[in-house]
Amino acid sequence: MKRLAAVLVLLALGASPQEAAPDREGVEFFEKKIRPVLIDRCYSCHSAEAKKLKGELYVDSRDGLLKGGETGPSIVPGDPDKSLLIQALRYSDDLKMPPKGKLAKEVVEDFVAWVKRGAPDPRGKGATAARKGINIEAGKTYWAFQPLKPPAGGSIDALIGAKRDAAGIPPNGPADKRKLIRRATFDLIGLPPEPAEVEAFVRDDSPQAFEKVVERLLASP
């Protein structure tokens, strides 16, 4: 009766049971059984401190878990079977967390028990709500991905072009591969490329050569 009365009061005040302050036992369970595992096995990829956030998912706040990431909410308080986090911990489908090895059975059961009791979590909303997903199609309209256009015909450009032609100075052509990797490396990591990296890029005749350089630089710490 006391629990029912508390729920009715929350509803009358406009708050849901999920927003209620977690009970003391639930908080103790979270602090002893759940938070240490999240910190040790999940924060490196799913927290505000992660070098590269994966799946747009934060697990370092209750709000982050409830909102989830690219695949939707991570937990459904009270229903572990509908919680993506539990499915991932169980390795029951393609979604597997942690990806480098399944947690011990008793640890997974701790998470199941935690979700069953409403996923009590004293951390609150924090500042780690999941970010909006990437709009690939919108990104394709960015100027850098548009086809090259002929030189502009504005008055200033025409004047500069005329002076340049009169002086016999040709316009700059496409950058060679050595200049290209040097520019990309300075732009993305602020350092010059290593000589071995330059030579490897020059020797790479594949159409994806520059793409591979950029991907490597973006993945650099």
pLDDT at 158: 79
Closest CA to 62 of 33, 84, 89, 30: 30
Domain boundary among 54, 86, 116: 116
Domain boundary among 88, 116, 144: 116
pLDDT at 154: 62
Could you give the CA distance from residue 122 to residue 20 in angstroms, rounded to a whole number? 10
**103 located within any domain:** yes
Could you give the CA distance from residue 126 to residue 108 in angstroms, rounded to a whole number? 25
**Same domain membership, residue 100 and residue 195:** no
**127 located within any domain:** no
Domain of 80 in residue numbering reads as 11-116
pLDDT at 93: 82
**Same domain membership, residue 173 and residue 111:** no
**Same domain membership, residue 100 and residue 176:** no
**202 located within any domain:** yes
**Same domain membership, residue 112 and residue 19:** yes
**Domain total of the chain:** 2
**136 located within any domain:** no
pLDDT at 84: 93
pLDDT tens for 9-28 read: 444 444 444 445 568 898 99
3-state SS string for 125-175: CCCCCCCCCCCHHHHCCCHHHCCCCCCCCCHHHHHHHHHHHHCCCCCCCCC
**125 located within any domain:** no
**212 located within any domain:** yes
pLDDT at 135: 67
| pTM for the model | 0.49
Could you give the CA distance from residue 112 to residue 183 in angstroms, rounded to a whole number? 51
pLDDT at 185: 94
Enumerate the H helices of the chain as residue ranges. 2-12, 24-29, 35-41, 62-67, 84-90, 105-116, 136-139, 155-166, 177-189, 195-203, 209-218
Domain boundary among 100, 116, 132: 116
pLDDT at 8: 42
**153 located within any domain:** no
pLDDT at 15: 44
**Same domain membership, residue 105 and residue 176:** no
Residue ranges of the chain whose pLDDT lies below 70: 1-22, 125-135, 151-155
**63 located within any domain:** yes
**Same domain membership, residue 96 and residue 184:** no
